[in-house]
Copies of this chain bind each other. A is one copy, B any other.
Amino acid sequence: MFISKSCSYGIRSVAYLSGYPQGRYVPIRDISSDLNISYHFLTKILQMLTAANILISSRGAGGGVALAREAAAITLYDLIIAIDGDELFTGCLLRLPGCGTKTPCPMHQEWDVARGKVNHFCCHTSVTGLKQHMLLLAANPASDL
């Protein structure tokens, strides 16, 4: 499992927001009900993205959360770092105790090739393409879970 469920929720929410103009506030309630995610739980996750300056938020009527910059400028890397931290991109594949810069495990170097591909993908992929897929699923929710 590459990312946590929370992180998945965050990514889907940003994809959802990419369907709106940048800076346009959308209530978290709308996001949570459209994506079938617990409202209060999503609130906490999106707070992490607000703290990371990926979203902006506004309380009160007409408020909600909004993209802080254009969707194309928000990468998977940004979202994963904000919610799951950097473990995926820097930690030891085998979770070996003592594997670090001083005494890297024998696989560290070889593994870096594979991880490099993962990093590159996450750093060069935004969520813009996901919006349409989510709409398709909403139209046919029983597809293949």
A93 touches B132 (CB 8 A): no
Given A110-B121, A111-B121, are A95 and B144 also a contact pair (CB < 8 Å)?
no
Number of interface residues of A (CB under 8 A): 46
Instruction: Please name all residues of chain B whose beta carbon is closer than 8 Å to the beta carbon of A129 when the two chains form the complex.
Output: 106-107
Bound-complex Cα distance A48 to B100 (A) = 29
Number of identical protomers: 2
A95 touches B137 (CB 8 A): no
Instruction: Please name all residues of chain B whose beta carbon is closer than 8 Å to the beta carbon of A33 when the two chains form the complex.
Output: none
Given A3-B93, A93-B3, A98-B137, are A130 and B106 also a contact pair (CB < 8 Å)?
yes
Among A3, A8, A94, chain B packs the most CB atoms within 10 A around the CB of: A94
A-B contact pairs, 28 of them (CB 8 A): A1-B87, A1-B88, A1-B95, A2-B2, A5-B95, A8-B95, A11-B94, A12-B94, A12-B96, A36-B97, A96-B130, A97-B137, A98-B137, A98-B143, A98-B144, A100-B145, A102-B143, A102-B144, A103-B133, A105-B130, A106-B133, A107-B125, A110-B121, A111-B121, A113-B121, A114-B114, A117-B118, A118-B118
